[in-house]
Structure 1
Amino acid sequence: MGRGIEIRDAHFPGRAPIDAYGDGGFRFADMSHRGSLLCLPSGIHGWDVTEESTLDVALFKRVLDEARDIEVLLVGTGQDIRRLPPELKIRLRDARIISDPMSTGAAVRTYNVMLAESRAVAAALIAV
């Protein structure tokens, strides 16, 4: 008898530095994940976003839901830096979150440093 494939939302229930990135995914906490990630106070979540995605407010709902525990959101926008849409910047600012778009590599490095400093940081990382 064959087993069916169970599809679950990817979620690591803790905070962990990102050990490596590239080839369409990330390594952290002795695990690997293909695709993009949201690194939030509630843990690390799979994020269904690519470099071609429009960065609208709906994609950041989980970030806004946890806003009280986030001071800085690093947005790794892929290989290149992309501006955040004005509506998204306003929603994040209204939630008292400082948003900082940068390449995914720079976002990973900055996230790891801020996490090590126990800062209230979150990251939205588009896989490269």
Structure 2
Amino acid sequence: MAGKGIIIREAHFPGRAPIEAYGNGGFRFADMSHRGSLMCLPTGIHGWEPANPQALTVADFDRLLAEADKVEILLVGMGRDLRPLPAALRAALKDAGIASDPMSTGAAVRTYNVLLAENRAVAAALIAVD
């Protein structure tokens, strides 16, 4: 009986994992540390560097939109402060059938972990905080 081998993907943790800690400009998950922002998708956790974290664009979410059929809820950790998502981004997510919820990164991490534990179709885009 042939089993599936391990698939190695560049800059990608191939699985879903709760975020164990955040701060100091990065995150800890799956007994690993990552410096910088993260995008947590059903296909795994990716390093994510939006061009301007203060002005997110649709292009910053291309990877997420490619998996839109697997995502119902997107939590956006906006850093320390809550800011609304730009209208064009909200519209693109809505058109893809994804409910978006901007919040502070800390709140997004906590909410992501709860929804992940409930096995929900959740994704998170988390801007690193110091």
TM-score by length of 2: 0.89
Q: Is the 8 A contact 1:25 1:127 kept in 2?
A: yes
Q: Tell me, which stretches of 5 or more residues in structure 2 are unaligned? A: 1-8
**Quick one: distance in 1 between partners of 2:105 and 2:86?**
17
**Taking structure 1 as reference, are residues 61 and 52 closer, same or farther at Cα in structure 2, changes over 3 Å only?**
closer
**Taking structure 1 as reference, are residues 55 and 9 closer, same or farther at Cα in structure 2, changes over 3 Å only?**
farther
Q: Which residue of 2 aligns with 1:38?
A: 39
Residue 16 of structure 1 aligns to a residue whose secondary structure is coil
**Quick one: distance in 2 between partners of 1:31 and 1:23?**
14
**Taking structure 1 as reference, are residues 93 and 102 closer, same or farther at Cα in structure 2, changes over 3 Å only?**
same
Provide the identity percentage: 71
One-letter amino acid of the structure 1 residue matched with residue 31 of structure 2: D
Q: Which residue of 2 aligns with 1:122?
A: 123
Q: Tell me, which stretches of 5 or more residues in structure 1 are unaligned? A: 1-7
Q: Which residue of 1 aligns with 2:109?
A: 108
Q: Is the 8 A contact 1:50 1:126 kept in 2?
A: no
The Cα of 1:54 is off from its aligned counterpart by: 1.8
Q: Which residue of 1 aligns with 2:23?
A: 22
Q: Which residue of 1 aligns with 2:6?
A: none
Q: Which residue of 1 aligns with 2:4?
A: none
The Cα of 1:52 is off from its aligned counterpart by: 4.2
Q: Is the 8 A contact 2:75 2:123 kept in 1?
A: yes
**Quick one: distance in 1 between partners of 2:15 and 2:98?**
21
TM-score by length of 1: 0.90
The alignment of Structure 1 onto Structure 2 pairs a total of residues equal to: 121
**Quick one: distance in 2 between partners of 1:33 and 1:94?**
31
- The CA RMSD over aligned residues, in Å, is 1.5
